[in-house]
Amino acid sequence: MKKIAILGSTGSIGTQALQVIQQHPNTLKATALTAGNNYKLLIEQAKTFLPEYVVINQEHYVTVKDALKKLPICVLSGREGLLEVVTLESVEVVLTALVGFSGLEPTIQAIKHKKNIALANKETLVVAGELITKLCQIHDVQLLPVDSEHSAIFQCLVGEPDKSIEKIYLTASGGPFRGKKKQDLTHITPQQALKHPNWSMGAKITIDSATLMNKGLEVIEAKWLFHLLPQQIEVVVHPQSIIHSMVQFNDGSMKAQMGLPDMKLPIQYALSYPQRWHNDFTRLNFLDYPSLTFELPDTDTFSCLSMAIEAMKAGGNMPCVLNAANEVAVHAFLHQKIGFLQIPELIDRAMSQMPYISHPSVEDLLHTDETTRMQVETWI
């Protein structure tokens, strides 16, 4: 029985991870579940899966504790509770499905306690890729990608010799505004941007997909996951979202990992690796997709992608600046404080004005994140 702590169990990845656990009740156990504000769903999950621990924010702690008082479940709260459950002796794998920068600290804590990481929080590697990969080496921890694109690359590399990669291709759907130009995006509403053509995801990542920032963050994540140079990573728009990513090897051959756009598949692979487990998820029928097409991304219209690549090349704390500015800008857009096109404008301004640190410590990154957020808030 592999025991899992799910950080962010009420979000899109967390709820799908629990569906995977339901498929494999004899091999997977949800030992700890954590949530931020969605206490009602957390209570339902706790009653269904009977974890040893749940964590909720302080505001809803008493409500959750009261609701679960007749069950053998320990209820913890806030940051301290989050940091405690990732160190539990009974936990073998920590699935980090928290949104944004909040995933960094508990992931570091889990690695230091030798927990294998199923990583759905790409911002952890975006902000602190060098620190995280070094910690994994020091503590002999596996970093298993959950993002569909990185899972695809990971699967393509199983059994391949080290240093055999010539290039990787991260595929992007293009989001809901593929083919649009800047003048078409002036009056975009959050409701329009949240209508992704292929994937069902949380609000923040869906907006990131619409701006192509999500793909930019994935480029940075891929650099650290697979030890690549910037010139070894290319983005290609693939509207059907059937090929999840590809690897080109040094002999010229290529591998592609394919499947329906369903996050349960990469979640299960991260939890079952190195095995493949049977499930009853819907299978891909090629006749439903007689044409698979590819095109270059439009980085003039969707400049977030090019800014992310620029941040990756700059290194240091620049990806942290990029990520913090993006999180604040996306939140402001979702609350109708700014327009869609102001998201990249705010990120660009932050990258040009925030102080650069070439070799940041964790403390430097925490300070960069905080000061960038405050500065972007003042601009808004």
Give residue-wise pLDDT tens across range 263-300. Answer: 999 999 999 999 999 999 999 999 999 999 999 999 99
State pLDDT tens for residues 174-225: 999 999 999 999 999 999 999 988 877 889 999 999 999 999 999 999 999 9
Rounded CA separation 361/57 (Å): 28
Q: Which of 16, 101, 51, 83 is nearest to 317 (CA)?
A: 101
Q: Could you give phi then psi for residue 375, rounded to 5 degrees?
A: -65, -45
The predicted-structure confidence for 95-121, as pLDDT tens digits, reads as follows 999 987 888 999 999 999 999 999 998
pLDDT grade, residue 228 (50/70/90)?
very high
Q: Could you tell me the two tokens for 28?
A: 């997977």
- The conformational region for residue 302 under phi > 0 = left, psi -120 to 50 = alpha, else beta, is beta
179: Cα within 13 Å, side-chain hemisphere: 5
pLDDT of residue 157: 97
Q: Phi then psi for 24, rounded to 5 degrees? A: -135, 60
Pick the CATH number of 2-145 from 3.40.190.10, 1.10.260.40, 3.40.50.720, 3.40.50.1370: 3.40.50.720
- Averaged pLDDT, 307-315: 97
Q: What is the pLDDT of residues 5-55, one digit of tens each?
A: 999 999 999 999 999 999 999 999 999 999 999 999 999 999 999 999 999
The pLDDT of residue 139: 98
- Give me the residue label for tokens 């130009």: 181
Q: What pLDDT is attached to residue 198?
A: 81
Query: Are 18 and 49 in contact, with CB atoms under 8 Å apart?
Result: yes
pLDDT > 90 in the chain, percent: 96
Q: Name the average pLDDT for the chain.
A: 96
Task: Give me the count of residues in the chain.
Answer: 380
Per-residue pLDDT of 236-245, as tens digits, reads: 999 999 999 9
Q: Would the pTM count as exceeding 0.85?
A: yes
**Residue 71 DSSP one-character state:** S
In the three-class reduction of DSSP (H, G, I as helix; E, B as strand; rest coil), residue 14 is classed as helix
Range(s) within the chain of domains with CATH label 3.40.50.720: 2-145
Separation of alpha carbons 203 and 11, rounded Å: 10
What is the model's pLDDT at position 100? 77
| Helix 362-379 vs helix 342-353: crossing angle, to nearest 10 | 130
Closest alpha carbon to 353 in 333, 325, 330, 326: 325
- What pLDDT, on a 0 to 100 scale, did the predictor assign at position 123? 86
pLDDT digits (tens, 9 = 90+) for 150-171: 999 999 999 999 899 999 999 9
- Would you say 318 and 325 are in contact if contact means Cβ atoms under 8 Å apart? no
CA neighbor of 182 nearest in space, from 341, 365, 305, 67: 341
The distance from CA 208 to its chain's CA centroid, rounded to whole angstroms, is 11
